[in-house]
Amino acid sequence: MTSTPPAASASAPAAQPSAAAAALPADHPGVVELFALLAYGEVAAFYRLTEEARMAPNLRGRINMASMAAAEMNHYEVLRDELERRGVDVVPAMTRYASALENYHRLTTPSTWLEALVKTYVGDALAADFYLEIADAMPGAVADVVRSVLSETGHSQFVVAEVRSAVTASDRQRHRLALWSRRLLGEAITQAQYVMADHDELVDLVMSAGGLSQITEFFDRLQQTHSTRMQELGLA
C-alpha cells in the first residue's frame, strides 16, 4: 500500500489507543496475521503498479509508477524482517491473503491511465485509513511498524495534478472517474469483510484492541476521508 497521507488524521481525530490496547500483548497471534496481510498487500501493489504503468502515456509516468512500486517493496522488506524476527516465514504466511487481495485488484482493473492513477491514490489511501485505524488500537511497537509501512513518501502527489487537470478539461471524465472511485470504495470494503470472515486471529486482534468496536463511526470516518480525497482530485 502506498504512500498517501492518512487523510483521517488531518480531517477527523483518529481513535485514541484504548485501555484494551495497552493490555493487548505484542505477541498476540493476530499481529503476525496483520503483518502477513500487509506484506501480501505490498507485493500485490508492486505488481499491480508495474502492470498498470504500461498505460502511462510517457516515460515520466512510467518512472513515477516504478518509484511508487519500489516504495512498496521497501515496505514489504520491513514486514518480512518483522515476521522473521518472530520466527515466521513470510511467504507461506502471506499466501493466506492472496485470494482477497488478488480479487480486489482483478475486480478493479483500470481500463485507462486516469483510472489507474485514481486507483493508486484513492485505493491505497483507503487501505491506509483502514490499517492506521487498527494501528491506533495496537501496542506501541506493533503500531510503529504498521505506521512506517504506510507512511507518506510523497510519490503520489503527481497523481493529484494529473487527475485534476484532466477532469477540469472534461465533465465526462469527471463523472466517469467519480463513479470509478465509488466502485473502488465498494470493492475495498467488500474484500476487507471477506478477509475478516476468513481469519479469526485478525478479528480477535481487532476486537480485543477495541479498534473497530465503534464500527459505525469507523465507516463514517472512512466515507468522510474518501470525500475529502474526491475533492482533492476535483471529483467531488
Residues that bind its own copies (CB under 8 A): 43, 46-47, 50, 53, 59-60, 62-63, 66-67, 69-70, 72-74, 76-77, 91, 94-95, 98
Closest CB 43 distance from its own copies, rounded Å: 6
Closest CB 202 distance from its own copies, rounded Å: 20
Nearer to its own copies, 43 or 167 (CB): 43
Nearer to its own copies, 54 or 175 (CB): 54
Closest CB 74 distance from its own copies, rounded Å: 6
Q: Is 106 exposed, middle or buried (0-12, 13-18, 19+ CB in 10 A)?
A: exposed
Q: How far apart are CA 223 and CA 225, in angstroms?
A: 6
Which among 135, 23, 147, 46 is positioned nearest to 94, based on CA atoms?
A: 46
Closest CB 159 distance from its own copies, rounded Å: 17
Nearer to its own copies, 66 or 196 (CB): 66
Q: How far apart are CA 166 and CA 31, in angstroms?
A: 41
Q: How far apart are CA 205 and CA 66, in angstroms?
A: 34
Closest CB 105 distance from its own copies, rounded Å: 14
R_g of the chain, CA atoms, integer Å:
17
CA 21, distance to chain mean position in Å, is 22
Nearer to its own copies, 98 or 107 (CB): 98
Nearer to its own copies, 151 or 227 (CB): 151
Nearer to its own copies, 89 or 144 (CB): 89
Closest CB 208 distance from its own copies, rounded Å: 30
- Residue whose grid cell is 504512500: 3
Q: State phi, psi for 85 to the nearest 5 degrees.
A: -60, -30
Q: What's the first-to-final CA gap in the chain, in angstroms? A: 24
Closest CB 158 distance from its own copies, rounded Å: 13
Torsion region of 234: left, alpha or beta (phi above 0 gives left; psi -120 to 50 gives alpha): left
Torsion (CA) 213, 29, 131, 87 in degrees, nearest 10: 170
Nearer to its own copies, 119 or 155 (CB): 155
**Collapsed DSSP state (helix, strand, coil) of residue 119:** helix
